[in-house]
Amino acid sequence: MRPLDTDEPTVVGPYRLLGRLGSGGMGRVYLGRSAGGRTVAVKIVHPHFALDEEFRAR
């Protein structure tokens, strides 16, 4: 796991991001934790995918 860069989000929805697990052609994956302590992987897709209606439908 890599530390978050200063330009990366620290909170996404209900999850506090703790570090970056990886990145690739589709986006980045972060280690997140909920207020209740649940640990999750949070994937954030690149903006051009997020704006594509066909991609979002899948």
Distance CA 42, CA 15 (A): 8
At CA 38, angle to CA 36 and CA 39, rounded to 5? Answer: 145
Task: Say if residue 43 carries a ligand binding annotation.
Answer: yes
Order of strands, sheet of 27-33, starting from the edge strand that comes earlier in the sequence = 11-12, 15-23, 27-33, 39-45
Which residues belong to the annotated binding site for ATP? 43
Which residues belong to the annotated binding site? 43
